[in-house]
Amino acid sequence: MTILGSPTLARAEWEPLAAAHAAAADALTAGHRERRDRGEKHAVEDFLFEYYTTRPAHLRRWHPGPGVVLEDAPEHAAWRFYRTAAGRTEMDAVAFLEARSAGLDQIERLLRATADRPARFGCFGLHEWAMAYRAGEEIRHPLPLRLGQAGTDAVVEANPIACSHFDAFRFFTPEAVPLNALQPTRETQVALEQPGCLHATMDLYKWATKLAPAVPSSLQLEAFALALNVRRVDMQASPYDVSAFGLDAIEVETPEGKREYASRQRDFAARGAALRARLLASIENLRQVAAA
């Protein structure tokens, strides 16, 4: 239901917002869409569309979030989790909660636990190295190893591996698994997720996408933009040679590279914390709108 006093936007008010959002999304996904049309792959950026599986067409859809009424909005009326009465369309918070309550509860638990936990900045992106450890021809990305296989293995063996993120850890090679200080599982994800982790920050985009249309699209797009920046740094710090993509290596095998990585990590953690707080506020708003 709609909270009394919820804003109502005429088409002349909301249509420019929707157009601006679509244009911003198109700008962020232009490279991917052009490469897709040419049948080209990009080992760095394609991750955001293959692993997270959200299509550019969905990213450009504008959702105002729960509690905002749109006049003359047949486009939105045709989308799932919207309802229309007397020419007024709004996100159906009750229907969303009925269909997604279990998933929503799990996302909220994970976000709150992560937000309440201190950030750690000592992993230095070595999860990608552990995924390539003694991999041979089973290497994950079709890119050359910057230090070669022997050099990559030596870095893993010379540094402590402390990955807390299950969805990174599950791609470790079998030989690298026992080298990790933690043994994350899906069941322990809420207990181990921490806000300094680059993958936890990238996953904010995943959660924003799973919560659509219950979160404003501006938040989803900001999460995507941050995930894109994080992914680039993730691969710059990896054992792969990413110079073909115009990216410089962050040499985490050196003290200088470790300092640079930790500095980037701190910046991403701060930006991620702000987005995480907004996602939690959106969940609270959704529940309030549904209960009104």
Tell me: the pLDDT tens digits for 74-123?
A: 999 999 999 999 999 999 999 999 999 999 999 999 999 999 999 999 99
- Using pLDDT thresholds of 50, 70 and 90, give the confidence band for residue 54: confident
Helix (H) or strand (E) holding 91: strand 88-91
pTM of the entire structure?
A: 0.94
pLDDT of residue 101: 94
Helix H or strand E encompassing 222:
helix 217-236
The stretch 162-182 carries a mean pLDDT of 96
Burial of 186 (0-12, 13-18, 19+ CB in 10 A): exposed
Measuring CA to CA, which residue among 272, 109, 105 is closest to residue 197?
272
pLDDT of residue 4: 45
Residues 24-39, mean pLDDT to the nearest whole number: 94
pLDDT of residue 158: 97
